[in-house]
Amino acid sequence: MVSFFIYMWSKPPQSLILKDNDVHIWMINIENYREKIKKFRDILSLDELEKANRFSLDILKESYQINRGYLRIILGNYLNIKPEEICFSYNQKGKPLLKGEIINKINFNLSHKNNYTVYALSKNNIGIDLEQTNDKVAIENIARRFFCQCEFNYLNNLPKREKPEYFFKLWTIKEAYLKAIGEGLSGGLDNICFTINKSSENTAFISHNHDKKQDNNWYFKTLNLPNDYRIGIAINSIYQPNFYYYDEFLYSL
């Protein structure tokens, strides 16, 4: 079984505090929790249970319940409330947001790939994307369809050995950005154009094709993980955040 526990990941403290310029990244292996599925179901809302039941395969249904249940457990520990008491609202594109008295206290986002899920928490708007790179992916064909013209041209002019690195880096931060602004993939990867700052891999200039305006008030980060996984993070901040990486914790289950 793949282990993501590398030097940057640590066990979380018992008391979780999210400061103004902090970004907390959590990662779990869903397979570690399938035997505890009932505990996750018990803290989900009726609409979450109904959505889980729409999955035709039991394994996908369980994965959704674990992902949402764990999100509630994480948020509950930050907000000092019971996981089942957390209420969500959803924007027009389906992005979950905190609702009620806890609204705006924490911004969060999650992404999953295969057996793994990552969660990102911040006081600022934030998005996260988890992907697994694959040498068999037809990079040029996908980029031609989903990247804007300047991004595709840049990729096309790179040496062949550098293309996969650039493609997956760009894909993850574009998707993370679209999730952060509440659009998701329906917002169109080709509707935004990134120019990555060569002097700093964590900054990029973003222009929206519909108005050509640049939005430079964002900080980006990518992480390469074992077994060809990659994380892309987008934070609505001009300052470099303080990143903390937490491995899954079991004491709350």
pLDDT tens digit string along 160-188?
999 998 899 999 999 999 999 988 776 57
What is the average per-residue pLDDT within 115-125?
96
pTM given for the model: 0.90
What is the average per-residue pLDDT within 185-210?
64
Do residues 225 and 4 lie in contact, with contact meaning Cβ atoms separated by under 8 Å?
yes
pLDDT tens digit string along 92-106?
888 899 988 777 789
Helix then strand then coil, in percent of the chain rounded to 5, is 40, 25, 35
DSSP-derived pairing of the beta strands 214-215 and 229-235: unpaired
